[in-house]
Structure formats: structure tokens, C-alpha cells
Amino acid sequence: MPRFITELKRTHSCGELTRTDVGNEVVLFGWVNNRRDHGGAVFIDLRDRAGVTQVVFEHGVRPDVHDLAGQLRLEYCVGIRGKVVSRGENANPRLATGEIEVHATDLEIFNRCEPTPFLVEDKIDTSEEKRLQYRYLDLRRAPLQKTLMTRAKVNHLTRNYFTDSNFLELETPFMGKYTPGGARNFLVPSRLNAGKFYALAESPQLYKQLYMVAGFDRYFQIVRCFRDEDLRLDRQPEFTQIDVEMSFVEQNDVFEVIEGLIVKLWKEVLGVEIPRPFLRMPFDESMAKYGNDKPDLRFDLPHVVLTDVVAQHGGGGVPLLKQAIEAKGIVKGLRVPASASFSRTEIDKLEEFVKGMGAKGLARAKVAEGGEWTQSPFAKTITAELRQAINQAMGAKPGDLLLFQFGKEAVVHTVMANLRVHLAKRMGLIPEYGSGGQWRFLWVVDPPLFEYDEESKTWAAAHHAFTRPRDQDLQYLETDPGRVYCWRYDLVLNGFEIGGGSIRLHDPVVQARVFKAMGISDEEARSKFGFLLDALKMGAPPHGGIALGMDRLVMLLTGAESLRDVVAWPKTQKGTDLMTGAPGDVDAKQLRDLHVKSTVEPGK
């Protein structure tokens, strides 16, 4: 028998043989996806990343090969040689290669396989814990193989798109200087510099701006970023950004380039035409109507801000509302149409849901024929005037359910934003996972430059300190910082933030005023960002850019339920790698070399 690999080279993948190959001799390599042993004939579904082909071993053809085939088990890695034969009447329409099969004349078992911890099949039937522990087996499954192939395609298309548009792919350091603010950094102790630490880059932000100063006026990079923050369904501690920066541009120029990329990706990957230009919405409108800056626009269910209405009526006889107004809180309502018909029990469940997010409760009212409220804690005390005003503001109709939140602005927004999405899923307006075939792209634009930090009683940069304020707002920089809006933008798709960026502040004079408004002294600014401030004084061009969350893009493109399904080797919610056991212990000598001493007691 000739040797596989050295003498018998692979001629085809397991996904490409068709009728036209009938009669040809082929060599296939792959894994045993399934076996059906009939004694005199053994059927094997042979799988590689391209697909599955049925291979038949018949006793009458080659008794020795047939005997060996009898040893085959799931996930054995094998090579076969044989002849392509039409299956005629026995064709399997569920298989892409179902019209043919290969009658094997040679077989080599490259490697046997112990019983796997779970069956390698398309529709997985095991815990995510097991999948992550044996990730290389999980990755053998066709859905994940397709996802990673899509990911590779997105990489490829992105590189071509930017390269064709005269962008340069330039790299930036992962190990840099720790800069305060923003995401928590992973730290790397320096062996050569006792007591000093590198920080892993949370993004290439500063370096890409310095590329602009250096004159590389169109930059992009598909780059890994590191953030030591708690994980979520759409957040991993290391993730990939499509990072872009351009000189001599305004916001519209950035949108133009990015929309072009998105349209291309959706067309090439999904065959879907995305209309341009994308919708735009001011940040304040998004907060008011949806409670966050990443609204899912596949459904309506808007919030109604009732703060002013309630204030005008002095709380309308409801003590809780009065207190909320007096404490400078806000009041929001959400109208659930009568058609949704939530039962009392279901509404109580909604209340549990919102309490888990910091809500004190879930005030509700069912609207009766005459506009009266029933099943409501407010029904008895609220004045008819306020009730009517709220009904009118919310467009309430008989049978509708009105839900309310009031109190601290941030909590009300968060609770109502999550409630809105939760309701939409319960009402079947959007699926639990996936796009449902709807792609609602949105630019959220024009946010405030600062947000007030209750703890430190200071104005902090809502994003980063190098975002360009709107020219017409510069007059308020010293007197009323909350009125200063800026050239910042987020790209949102179906409730996910898939990108964000800004036009940068390249004017050193304005930069100094921004730092001052933030209560940052010149010395402090110098010590933290001196290199960038110097650079801005040396002919820095006007510039701006954006970073797209590459993993999230792929997650949405593939309909994956979580970022973990589009990252080949992801971490668990506690940031561990269940396959390798990282993070792990290191020995005392390593720590000594790094001038590091752990504060954790041994055994803890």
C-alpha cells in the first residue's frame, strides 16, 4: 500500500466532489464524523473544514482495507484513496456532496481518538465549560469553523478596503506607558527596571494620533487591545479593533469611509445591501428616548420623559414622585400597547428583573376606558390632572400598560433601557439572539464633552481628553462645562456599540482650557500626556478617527450568541482560560527577577 502524505497527496477537500468527478480516483484526508458498520460494508462520513463526504469500504473490494475500516471510530484522523461513484437512487439531498460517494481502496489511520468529552456535531449538546476546556474539539464543529472562516474573510476584506483606499497598515506597541483614566490596564512588570511597569495598550489611541503628527495621514490597523475590566457577553479582556485615523478630515469624512467598509462587509459576507447614509441621532435624543447611547432601533417602545410634566403638577399628589423631583431626579414612562397583555404575575416578574438592576420597584398602571388607572400604586392618590397629562404625553390608550421609573438619572436610564429591550424580546419584537434579518445602523452623534462626576465633584472627560469641542460651545468651557458638546460619534447596530471615535483636539490652546475645566493642572497634564502635548505644538494636523469592534462585527454578521463564539480561544467571565488554566502560578524566582512580591498569602 502506498504511503499517504509522502506518496499520496490530498487531491480534494471533503466538500467539493460532485457528479462531474465520478470515475476519478481521489485522495481525501479528514476526521470520522460518523460511521455505520454493516458488516460487509462500512460507511464513513469523512469531515474536513470544507464539508463531509461519504466513504464506503466494501469487503469484496479490499478485504484488508475493509477490516481496518472496521476499527474506525468517531474523530479518528484518516487518509483514504478511492474512486468517486455516483450514488444514483441513494443520493443524500441533505449533504452538499450527497450525489456521490468514494469507494475506498486504501486507508491509513493517522491517529486514533479516545472517546471525546462531548460529541463533535453541529448542534452542540454540552456545557460551555466543557467546550472551553476542550476548545480544539469545539472548534472542529462546522458552525465554529464557519464563524472563524467569516472572521478571516472580514480581516481580508478590511485589509483590501483600506489598502485600496490609500490607507497604510501601521503597527503600534502593545507594551506602553500607563496612562490614567479609562479602562483598567493589564500591567507588565519590568525586569530591567526595578519597580517599573509597562501597561498593555487598551487601544492604540495615542500612537495613532502621533502617526498623524508624523505625516502618515491615513492609518489603519487590525489590532489586539487589552482591558482589565469585568467581562460580558460582548466583552473579552483581549479583543480586536479595526483602528482608523485620518488627517485633514471632519466627521462626515470618517463616516464616509466607515460606511463604505460596512456596506462592503455586509454585501460580501451576507449578500445584503445596506442603504446609505446611515441614520444619525443626537446623543441627548438617544438618552431621552432609549436610556442609553446604543439604542436598538429594530423596534420602537420609546421612553417618555415625564420629569417636567410631574414637576409642573408638583408631584400630582404622589409623594414618591414629589420626592424624586425635589431630589433633582428624573421621571420616565414606557407605554406597553394593550395588545401585549401582560398578566399581573408577569409584571411582578418584570419588577424582579428591574430590581436586579438597582431599581427600587416598578410602578405601573393599566389604563381603563375613561383614562383612569387601575392596578397601580398611584391610582388612589394621583390627581386627575397629572394622570391626564401623563396619559397624553405617553399617548395612552385603554388597555395599555404604563411602566414608570423615577429617581437618580443614571439608574432610571439604565433600568428603562434594559427594560425596553427585555420587553421587546418578551413581546417577540426581536429574537433573543441574532438580527432577525434586520440591520439598523445608527450614528449617535454630538454628545457632551464632559460628564459630572458625583464622587469627585468635578467635570471629567466623557470619553477622552483629546476630543474636539464644538466651536460654538467653546464660550461655555469655563462658565458652564455641561453645555459643551463635542465631535464624538458611536456606530451602533441593533443595540450593540460596534465602533466609536472622534475628531481630535489638535489645538494646544484649547487643549489647555479643556484640562483646566477638568481640574487638571499644567504639571499634571505634562507628567501624564507631555509627549502628546509636545507633539500637538509641532505642526499637528487636524485629524480624527474611529475604532470598530471587530469581534462584535463578526458576532453580529454570523448571528453568534456571544463574543466567545467568534473568538477562537476566549476567556471565561472570570478571565480564565479553562483549557490552559491561565492565569497560573509562577515560582518565587520569577517574581524576584521581576522585583514583584505578591500580597496574597500562600494557599489562598
Helices 142-164 and 251-265: crossing angle in degrees, nearest 10, is 140
Residue 249 CB contacts under 8 Å (≥ 6 apart), including other chains: 503, 542, 543, 544
C-alpha cell at 514: 479643556
DSSP per position, 151-169: HHHHHHHHHHHHHHTT-EE
Quote the DSSP letter at residue 19.
Answer: G
Q: Which is nearer to RNA, 47 or 387 (CB)?
A: 47
Cα separation, 328 vs 330, whole angstroms? 7
Taking the complex as a whole, the smallest distance from the CB of residue 362 to RNA amounts, in Å, to 14
- The region that residue 249 occupies, defined by phi over 0 for left and psi between -120 and 50 for alpha, beta otherwise, is beta
Contact 256, 234 (CB under 8 A): no
Taking alpha carbons only, the member of 455, 366, 429 closest to residue 403 is 366
* Min separation Cβ 167 and RNA, Å: 20
Beta carbon nearer to RNA, 36 or 156: 36
In angstroms, the CA 420 to CA 412 distance is 12
Closest approach of RNA to the CB of residue 189, in Å: 22
Q: What is the DSSP letter of 268?
A: I
Give how far Cα 123 sits from Cα of 10, 74, 77, 564, 600, Å.
29, 16, 21, 17, 43
For residue 400, the minimal CB distance to RNA (Å) is 26
CB of 596 to RNA, least distance (A): 21
As measured in angstroms, the least distance from the Cβ of 49 to RNA is 19
51 vs 13: CA distance, rounded Å? 7
Residue (2 or 358) nearer to RNA, CB: 358
Identity of the residue, 182 or 282, whose beta carbon is nearer to RNA in the bound complex: 182
| Of residues 98 and 314, the one with the C-beta less far from RNA | 98
CB of 206 to RNA, least distance (A): 8
Nearer to RNA by Cβ, of 43 and 476: the residue is 43
Residue with Cβ nearer RNA (229 or 346): 229
Give least dist CB 170 to RNA, A.
18
List helix spans (H) across 504-574: 508-517, 522-536, 550-558
Whichever of 50 and 393 has its CB closer to RNA, that residue is 50
Q: What is the DSSP letter of 482?
A: G
With respect to RNA, which residue has the nearer C-beta, 209 or 391?
A: 209
In whole angstroms, how close is the CB of 589 to RNA at the nearest point? 26
Relative to beta strand 41-48, strand 51-58 is: antiparallel
Pairwise CA distance, residues 145 & 392, whole Å: 53
- Quote the least distance from Cβ 6 to RNA, whole Å: 28
Give the separation between CA 566 and CA 560, rounded to whole angstroms: 7
Nearer to RNA, 400 or 565 (CB): 565
* Residue of 394, 517, 410 lying closest to 458 (CA atoms): 517
